[in-house]
């Protein structure tokens, strides 16, 4: 069956519309998944009790030896405030787990990923250099390919909602990421006012 140019144009427009809607919904799904991950970590840390601290039944026939007691390992969720360098105003919060850093910008900040120096400094220079080191480590068999550092930017429209850094793996990297993110976000705010 042959289609007219007008029908083909309408199909192309429909395809674009579907792709746009899928991207919008994917961003929302990513945001919801991130919130679920944070809630899971918080709930894990607060809802489990060491077996040794549970009340004992008086009907127990034998006493369990100390080494048989079960202890649940609690995963910590660390929260770090990111403040403007000059006046100390909180502009974002970084939620840190052993697997990732999620930097969530405060409402109303309104920064886009086009404002320097996010891409040129933070993503390309800082995260990019860490990625190069990780790629070399993958080639040398030191780490798995799934352990390479990665950076994802989630947005609400054009505005950045959060920056996720996965597989940072080292305390030194965490410190560098938080420090350079603070510096970059502060400069971005200054550049957005100009």
Could you report the per-residue pLDDT of 134-157, keeping only the tens digit for each? 999 999 999 999 999 999 999 888
Residue bearing the bigger pLDDT, 24 or 148: 148
pLDDT of 120 > 50? The answer is: yes
Q: Is 177 exposed, middle or buried, given 0-12, 13-18 or 19+ CB atoms closer than 10 A?
A: buried
Q: For 72-149, where are the E strands, in sequence order?
A: 78-83, 90-96, 100-105
Name the DSSP letter for residue 50: -
Contact 103, 80 (CB under 8 A): no
pLDDT of 124 > 50? The answer is: yes
What is the per-residue pLDDT across 29-69, written as a single tens digit (0 to 9) for each? 777 777 777 766 666 655 444 444 444 444 434 444 444 44
pLDDT of 12 > 70? The answer is: yes
Report the pLDDT averaged over residues 156-180: 92
Cross-strand pairs, 155: 160
Looking at residue 19, what is its pLDDT?
85
Both tokens of residue 131?
Answer: 């990625």
Query: 0.75 cut: is pTM over it?
Result: no
Residue bearing the bigger pLDDT, 46 or 125: 125
Residue bearing the bigger pLDDT, 73 or 157: 157
* Residues 57, 58, 61: CA angle, nearest 5 degrees: 95
pLDDT of 1 > 90? The answer is: no
CA-CA distances (angstroms) from residue 1 to 4, 6, 9, 31? 10, 15, 16, 43
The alpha carbon of 157 is separated from its chain's Cα centroid by a whole number of angstroms, namely: 18
Mean pLDDT, the chain, whole residue set: 80
Contact 73, 99 (CB under 8 A): no
Both tokens of residue 10?
Answer: 């309408």
């Amino acid at each position: 069956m042959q289609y007219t140019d007008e029908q083909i144009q309408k199909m192309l427009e429909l395809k674009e519309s579907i792709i746009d809607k899928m991207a919008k919904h994917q961003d929302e799904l990513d945001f919801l998944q991130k919130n679920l991950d944070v809630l899971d970590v918080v709930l894990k840390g607060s809802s489990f009790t060491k077996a040794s601290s549970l009340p004992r039944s008086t009907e127990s026939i034998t006493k369990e030896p100390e080494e048989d007691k079960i202890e649940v390992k609690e995963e910590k969720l660390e929260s770090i405030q990111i403040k403007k360098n000059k006046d100390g105003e909180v502009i974002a919060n970084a939620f840190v787990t052993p697997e990732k850093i999620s930097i969530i910008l405060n409402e109303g900040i309104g920064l886009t990923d086009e404002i320097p120096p996010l891409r040129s400094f933070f993503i390309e220079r800082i995260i990019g250099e860490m990625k190069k080191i990780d790629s070399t480590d993958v080639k040398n068999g030191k780490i798995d390919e799934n352990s390479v550092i990665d950076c994802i930017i989630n947005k609400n429209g054009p505005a950045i909602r959060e920056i996720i850094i996965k597989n940072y793996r080292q305390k030194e990297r965490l410190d560098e990421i938080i420090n350079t993110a603070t510096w970059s976000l502060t400069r971005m705010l200054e550049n957005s006012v100009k």
